[in-house]
Amino acid sequence: MFASVSLPARPASSTLAVCAPRCSTGSTRAIPAACFVLRIEDTDTARNTEQSLNTILDGLKWLGLDHDEGPHFQSQRAENYRQRCRQLLDAGMAYERDGAIRFKMTARADRDE
């Protein structure tokens, strides 16, 4: 189970993620097996400031949303993403165009064309 919600916070960009498999005990939430994992999308360096982070955290507190895990910052996983992109490129499952990595889509027999 994975759900993602984007907050329209300015000037920061953020994403909240709820991930059930990671936390399963001791929860008093409406969904006992759910875990609220806070993930901050901080790869936009022009808008990534301490003030922006504090605005997000203060907003969550004001809403009464307490996270069980995190915050985790996307920028800390950049090397992992680079490695995975290289693997996809090397395997022929992706290609580069206009500075972006794009997935190759395969035709499915069950798709109406």
What confidence tens digit (pLDDT) does each residue in 26-35 have?
A: 555 566 667 8
The domain locations on the chain are 2-75
**pLDDT value at 9 more than 90:** no
Please give the average per-residue pLDDT across 85-106, as a whole number.
92
Q: What is the length of the chain?
A: 113
**What confidence score (pLDDT) does residue 46 get?**
86
Burial of 16 (0-12, 13-18, 19+ CB in 10 A): buried
Report the pLDDT value the prediction gives residue 85, as an integer from 0 to 100: 93
Show the CA angle centred on residue 96, arms to residues 91 and 102, nearest 5°. Answer: 75
User: Which pLDDT value is given to residue 8?
Assistant: 43
Strand partners, 36: 18
59 Cβ contact partners less than 8 Å away, ≥ 6 residues apart: 7, 9
Q: 30-87, pLDDT tens digit by residue?
A: 666 678 899 999 888 888 899 999 999 999 999 999 999 999 999 999 999 999 999 9
- pLDDT of 112 > 90? The answer is no
Q: pTM here? A: 0.54
Six token digits for residue 110: 């069950």
User: Is 23 in a helix, a strand, or coil?
Assistant: coil
Among 12-21, 50-59, 77-86, 91-100, name the one with the lowest average pLDDT.
12-21
